[in-house]
Amino acid sequence: MKYIYFDAFSGCSGDMILGALLDLGADVSKFQKDMEALALPVRISVQEIRRATLRGLKVEVAVERDSPVHRKWEDVRKIIESSPFSRKVKERSLNIFRRLFEAESRVHGHAFEKTHLHEAGADDALVDIVGFGLLSEMLDVGIFHASPLNLGGGWIKASHGVLPVPAPAVSELLKDIPTYSAHVQKELVTPTGAAILAEVVEEFSTLPELKYQRVGWGAGGHDLPDFPNLLRVFYGEADALKAKGQVYQIEANVDDSTPQVLAEFLGRALQAGALDVFLTPIVMKKNRLGSKISILSDSRTLDRLIRLLFQETSSIGVRFFPVARRVLPRHFREVSVEGEIIKVKVAELDGMPINIQPEYDDCRRAARRLKMPLKHVEDLARMAMKDEKQRGGKG
């Protein structure tokens, strides 16, 4: 299985996503042939063009229809369900379209079933969304990550009149997703592009640690002299995506929380998703002894842990900042010590065990039952692990 990281420094649209995926090496002729199964009056062309000084693939969907078509949810559902694509492609496409219809219904105050899409429900949008599902399947992509999205700025002319950037539907679709505006006064994220990324991306973060085999470039519709309107995607093996988004360190200094309160907070922070939490003795103002609370968090649990720190301790202010980290791959094995099963955590470097650590709770339980010193049980567990390795057993 593969991963994709969308680098949306110039936003994203449906055609940019298709172009970038095709640029990764998907068969263009097969894609064009397969998309004929939608039975839409469209002609799909793919060509290499330049945006500023960089190349990319541009996907054009020429609609051979005299007047635009407006579709409701049931119309879109029937087209997709009647297609010959796999169940996975159909479900992904329908989930993306559902997001679009829900966003439009909230923006315009219409019931979901009565909401109809203009640009986002047209023939080319069906090609973009179903085509994305098809290309993801062809490229065996199972994990999607993305950068924060550059929305652009200014105003756009749509079927509902002149609208601010981001368009209202885009604003709805990108709730809780990191965005910014930079460089140009143009619409850089379209409703179709926003719906695709909102549906499939697991984590939005700055470029994480990863190893990639290919880079694809999809061209957008803005041809600007000094700003490349391109979407860049990185593609590689799923297990080579080392970092699952940005990691943050949260810190707070306290000198008026009791040891009992701090001990309880450490446990609750771990239960709330902290990657690590610890206390450091410090000397604070007026030479008072205090404690520095340090919490390691990913972006998903950051707000939750800051809120918990305020609720459970006497802190009235925290600081947090992004940090880099590297984590060794690890796995658990089980060994037997005098009939007691003990889990052993094995960390590896370059595929070789570098640290073997028996689980404390298992060793403590075994020590009490066997009436042995804890350190003796830990030593026996390590010896049993080494014996299993020498015999080639699985523990």
pTM of the complete model: 0.66
Number of structural domains the chain divides into: 3
Q: Which residues are paired to 356 by β-bridges?
A: 346
Q: CA-CA distance, 239 to 246, in Å (whole number)?
A: 17
> 261 is in which domain, residue-wise?
247-323
Spell out the residues 6+ positions from residue 377 whose beta carbon is closer than 8 angstroms to its own. Answer: 337, 340, 342, 358, 363, 366, 367, 370
Q: Tell me the per-residue pLDDT of 274-289, one tens digit each, with 9 for 90 and over.
A: 999 999 999 998 888 9
Angle of CA points 359, 361, 363, to nearest 5°: 70
Do 226 and 264 lie in one domain? The reply is no
Question: Which pLDDT band, with edges at 50, 70 and 90, does 67 fall under?
Answer: confident
Q: CA-CA distance, 31 to 89, in Å (whole number)?
A: 13
Question: Which pLDDT band, with edges at 50, 70 and 90, does 32 fall under?
Answer: very high
Do 83 and 227 lie in one domain? The reply is yes
Q: CA-CA distance, 101 to 133, in Å (whole number)?
A: 18
Do 138 and 205 lie in one domain? The reply is yes
Spatial contact of 139 and 23, defined as CB atoms under 8 Å apart? no
SS3 91: helix
Which residue, 216, 240, 264, sits at the end of a domain?
240
Place of tokens 């567990």: 381
Q: What is the pLDDT of residue 290?
A: 94
Q: Tell me the per-residue pLDDT of 196-210, one tens digit each, with 9 for 90 and over.
A: 999 999 888 888 878
Spatial contact of 22 and 133, defined as CB atoms under 8 Å apart? no
Q: Is the pLDDT of residue 391 over 70?
A: no
Which domain CATH number covers 366? Answer: 3.10.20.300
> What mean pLDDT is reported for the chain?
90
Give 205-273 as a 3 state SS string. CCCCCECCCEEEEEECCCCCCCCCCEEEEEEEEHHHECCCCCEEEEEEEECCCCHHHHHHHHHHHHHCC
Do 80 and 135 lie in one domain? The reply is yes
| Segment 113-135 mean pLDDT | 84
Of 62, 90, 88, 59, the C-alpha closest to 76 is 90
Do 137 and 153 lie in one domain? The reply is yes
Which residue, 306, 323, 340, sits at the end of a domain?
323
Lowest mean pLDDT among 110-114, 187-191, 369-373: 110-114
Q: Which residues are paired to 57 by β-bridges?
A: 48, 218
Do 314 and 381 lie in one domain? The reply is no
The answer to whether the bond into 148 is cis (omega within 30° of 0) is: no
Spatial contact of 347 and 330, defined as CB atoms under 8 Å apart? yes
